[in-house]
Amino acid sequence: MRILLTGAAGFIGGHIRSQALARGHDVVALDAYLPQAHGTGGAYDSSIHRIDLRHDPLDEVLDGIDVVCHQAAMVGNGVDAQDLPDYAEHNDAGTARLLAAMSRAGGRDLVLASSMVVYGDGRYTCPVDGDVPPAVRREDDLAAGRFDPRCPVCGGEITWREIGEDTPFLPRTSYAASKVAQEHYAGAWCTLDDARTVALRYHNVYGPGMPADTPYAGVAAIFRSAIARGEAPQVFEDGQQVRDFVHVSDVARANVLAIERVAVHPPGLTPYNIASGHPFTIGEMARVLAGAADGAPPELTGDYRRFDVRHVVASPRAATEGLGFTAEIAPEVGLAQLATDPLRRR
Ligand code: UD1
């Protein structure tokens, strides 16, 4: 197949490119080389077209393409409200331009990088009120070390549950809003052009080549960078926050499967959670990483960031049924390897 891969110089895009080439696909690679991700040093790979989706011509690179795999995006959660225009322009206006160009080129198949952040705070079960989104955590609870959210109806204790793809959107950050908008734009394009999109909602992706600590980095990069500096990972709250850490080689394989199978999906947007299926606490994750690096043991700080999501865990079942995807690398194995995996410097 001839694939157009955007974000090809990025962490996930680079792994997709290698796996797609190894499967015998022809890959046309694009990247805008954003300074936030790649610095300004100018070390560009000449086999990757330097194209910014916001304003560069796209018709030529789309010629003869079977499937577009769209990974290019500003990532992270956004630092403050000043980031909003950048997320909107890169992630949403860029995607809208790409879709318009696909329409002109007669393209009908898209694989879109989405994220579990579209679910915001996740879903919980209340013994009294049933399936509920959690209430926003109160400052007085957090200050007193009560980190678990409460039921939005009765204020009682609730327990997290695995979420499926039908969970309502609840975007809380600039990045999350931009990912929801990308899915909506792709859905609208599907309706207009009778086209197909497979949206892969990644959980916490980690592995070799992940960017070193930046203001936009997630916890795995932050802990890995602390270990590289000989420092102890600083674990917030009580370390019991639950996430799903999924290895980048599994995420790349999910993309290649989606590329190969998007055309057998019905018209419209089909979302899949991409997760390891092995929930892990942040405290356990810090212990595995620090232990494998033989570094200083993690420190439980009790600090908190009020708008952090407490627990979010996806069901990976739909991806197994629809794509034949099951993660192969268990977090305890992959996270131990991350202790010595190379990070990407800008
Ligand atoms: C992360 C990404 C998000 C991505 C999502 C799914 C960032 C900032 N967040 O969201 O963009 O879409 O995964 O892949 O890139 N923590 C510590 N110590 C630290 C930093 C964080 O204990 O030094 C804790 C936080 O309190 C939180 C957890 O680690 O409970 C995860 O934090 P983080 O990785 O920033 O955000 P996610 O919500 O997982």
Give tens-digit pLDDT for 235-259: 999 999 999 999 999 999 999 999 9
Nearest atom (ligand 1) to Cα of 175: 11
Q: Which residue lies with its CA nearest to atom 36 of ligand 1?
A: 218
Confidence of residue 38 (pLDDT cuts 50, 70, 90): confident
321 C-alpha to center of ligand 1: Å?
A: 28
- The proportion of the chain whose per-residue pLDDT surpasses 90, expressed as a percent, equals 83
* Residue 140 falls inside a structural domain: no
Count of CA atoms in the C-beta half-sphere (13 A) of 313: 16
- SS3 category, 253: helix
Q: How many domains, in total, are found in the chain?
A: 1
Instruction: Look over the chain and give the mean of its residue pLDDT values, rounded to a whole number.
Output: 94
Q: Which residue lies with its CA nearest to atom 37 of ligand 1?
A: 218
Structural domain that includes position 274: 2-122+163-339
pTM of the complete model: 0.95
**What does the alpha-carbon distance between residue 158 and residue 135 come to, in Å, rounded to a whole number?**
10
* Residue 218 falls inside a structural domain: yes
pLDDT tens, residue by residue, 175-234: 999 999 999 999 999 999 999 999 999 999 999 999 886 766 789 999 999 988 999 999
- SS3 category, 320: helix
Q: Whose CA is closest to 270, among 345, 175, 165?
A: 165
Nearest atom (ligand 1) to Cα of 239: 22
Beta carbons of 269 and 204 less than 8 angstroms apart: no
Instruction: Give the angle subtended at the CA of 13 by the CAs of 68 and 197, to the nearest 5°.
Output: 30
* Residue 152 falls inside a structural domain: no
CATH code, domain carrying 18: 3.40.50.720
* Residue 228 falls inside a structural domain: yes
Q: Which residue lies with its CA nearest to atom 14 of ligand 1?
A: 204
219 C-alpha to center of ligand 1: Å?
A: 5
Q: Which residue lies with its CA nearest to atom 18 of ligand 1?
A: 235
* Residue 156 falls inside a structural domain: no
Q: Which residue lies with its CA nearest to atom 28 of ligand 1?
A: 219
Residue 343: Cβ within 10 Å count: 17
192 C-alpha to center of ligand 1: Å?
A: 36
pLDDT tens, residue by residue, 93-147: 999 999 999 999 999 999 999 999 999 999 999 999 999 999 999 999 999 999 9
**What does the alpha-carbon distance between residue 325 and residue 258 come to, in Å, rounded to a whole number?**
9
Beta carbons of 268 and 302 less than 8 angstroms apart: no
Beta carbons of 203 and 258 less than 8 angstroms apart: no
Among 112, 114, 219, 248, residue to substitute to test ligand 1 (most atoms within 8 Å of Cβ): 219
240 C-alpha to center of ligand 1: Å?
A: 13
Nearest atom (ligand 1) to Cα of 220: 34
Q: Which residue lies with its CA nearest to atom 32 of ligand 1?
A: 219
Give the burial string for 156-194 (b: 16+ CB within 10 Å, else e): eebebebbebebeebbbbbbbbbbbbbbebbbebbeeee
Residue with tokens 């865990």: 313
Name every protein residue with a CB atom under 6 angstroms from any ligand 1 atom: 75-77, 115-117, 175, 202-205, 216-219, 222, 234-237, 241, 243, 282, 305, 308-309
